[in-house]
Structure 1
């Protein structure tokens, strides 16, 4: 199976340093330490698709450091500035870069972007409203007023294909590029299992009832911080009742056509990009007998 995008990170997350303030401070002073170069929340990459790193002296004066991890004993950081706004919508430049990352680099960027976005949106205590302070090497915030500890959140999302008699159910949203169809997706709700969320979301968006849900793979998605959980479910029938608040269109596509399209041949739809787990999911489904 094709490895999902934003996975395969090469850095050791170094949990021990997160609990060692003196060790963290020493790592930040290490002459070999590296700082991720970002333009706002967007990365720069070299000609080989690798992230660009600079020295710690380039960190803004008002910035707080977040330890991304270690590689060969060298500490790697990103910097958070409270003066910066939370990231806006993904730019065309960023979407182009996502397809150019070398293996493992997208995972490092995903971690950095998600934790920086979380800091930008959670500067005040959800319990008492007081300003919070960064601690644990940038992977938590502490309220000095009520002593509540806050940690970066991850939002689980199911992304799935319904299959029926050798065909896959794909849909498109109005924001997709022309011709693109992809797997259906939706957030898990409290008190709901992955399998139950798959059944509910497909029924809500396309009116199709599924059973026998099986897990395929997962992927971090740093916009802002989701975990995409890819699944396949067996449909009872192929009748589509579209929820136009969610989807612009939906259709059943035979396995052989999916195979041809994933191989680069023209067909009835444009597939999701390789860095999206919907692409991994389609490849996994297409390989079934």
Structure 2
């Protein structure tokens, strides 16, 4: 099975849930300590946008025993992610110094998560739990001090809350909503590319939802700001958790009411209309000019693929 086959239409990365979050256990410190020492306890160790994996004959293993994670230098504080078939799963961070030491040996590797997922190295059914671990570890690393009084906060409830010992403020993980949309006009769709994209790649336009803004308004605003296109008939498709660092991609479709593109060069390198035949070749990686659509790892591929296969009639 190729990496492309790992994400069939409608199933991008990070959406296949295999964990019982078991939130009722988060407030029970005694139970959590017992779970952490359970023989079946496992952990994902996160370093920035990468995973620490143990080298084995058949390839890297990313789900580590707690003792393996600690041996590699992972921070002792664990984040309780939930239960998989009754076995406790945790997330753990690791310091840069420990990673540097790891890289001098042969027992472990530190590999970028996105690349591992896109290449099919990590089983798709593990990606949702990994996304949870990555988002939570990043949140703890970035929010160690109280936003109210500046005091160092403490991890509580299995890592799902930080509490200030001074002013008693409680701090919870945040998720940032992002709209990502395929805009169509008849038999054409609008795609754009950013400078950091791989050569020849075009994708759906996207942007953060602002304060006091509806999803529909965010779709219309972002499309107009980035491409100058006005649109209507906004419809919801599906969501994708996106742990970079912790967003929720809200997939939508919309119908254009204008076609004259005015690219915001601060946001996009290019934007253009593609007909259905050309978009099909881009998805198949068969475009004669080497143009390509987004990888099936991302929700943008599924928005485009759904339209290519005629399952979305927003542009009719």
- TM more than 0.5: yes
Aligned equivalents of 2:254, 2:74: Cα separation in 1: 52
Q: CA deviation at 1:38?
A: 4.5
**Match of residue 231 from structure 1:** 252
Q: CA deviation at 1:258?
A: 1.5
Three-state SS of the structure 1 residue aligned to 2:89 is strand
2:46–2:137 Cα contact (<8 Å) kept: no
Aligned equivalents of 2:47, 2:232: Cα separation in 1: 45
1:188–1:194 Cα contact (<8 Å) kept: yes
Aligned equivalents of 1:147, 1:27: Cα separation in 2: 28
Question: TM-score if structure 2 supplies the norm length?
Answer: 0.83
| Aligned residue pairs, count | 284
**Match of residue 88 from structure 1:** none
Aligned equivalents of 2:49, 2:65: Cα separation in 1: 16
Aligned equivalents of 1:93, 1:133: Cα separation in 2: 29
**Match of residue 299 from structure 2:** 277
Equivalent in 46, 61, 66 of residue 55 of structure 1: 66
Equivalent in 33, 39, 54 of residue 31 of structure 1: 39
Alpha-carbon distance change, 267 to 192 in structure 1, aligned in 2, over 3 angstroms: farther
Equivalent in 68, 71, 77 of residue 64 of structure 1: 77
Aligned equivalents of 1:38, 1:31: Cα separation in 2: 21
Aligned equivalents of 1:49, 1:216: Cα separation in 2: 35
Aligned equivalents of 2:149, 2:96: Cα separation in 1: 23
List gaps (5 residues or longer) in structure 2.
1-8, 98-109
Three-state SS of the structure 2 residue aligned to 1:64 is coil
**Match of residue 15 from structure 2:** 7
Off by >4 Å, runs of 4+ in structure 1: 37-41, 45-50
**Match of residue 235 from structure 2:** 214
Aligned equivalents of 1:57, 1:49: Cα separation in 2: 13
Matched, 1:42 2:50: yes
1:68–1:108 Cα contact (<8 Å) kept: yes
Equivalent in 98, 116, 123 of residue 117 of structure 2: 98
Matched, 1:195 2:203: no
Alpha-carbon distance change, 41 to 239 in structure 1, aligned in 2, over 3 angstroms: closer
Aligned equivalents of 2:21, 2:210: Cα separation in 1: 29
Aligned equivalents of 1:120, 1:39: Cα separation in 2: 11
2:278–2:287 Cα contact (<8 Å) kept: no
Range with greater deviation from structure 2 (48-57 or 1-10): 48-57
Range with greater deviation from structure 2 (114-123 or 5-14): 5-14
Equivalent positions of 1:123-162 (< 5 A) are 123-162=144-183
List gaps (5 residues or longer) in structure 1.
86-90
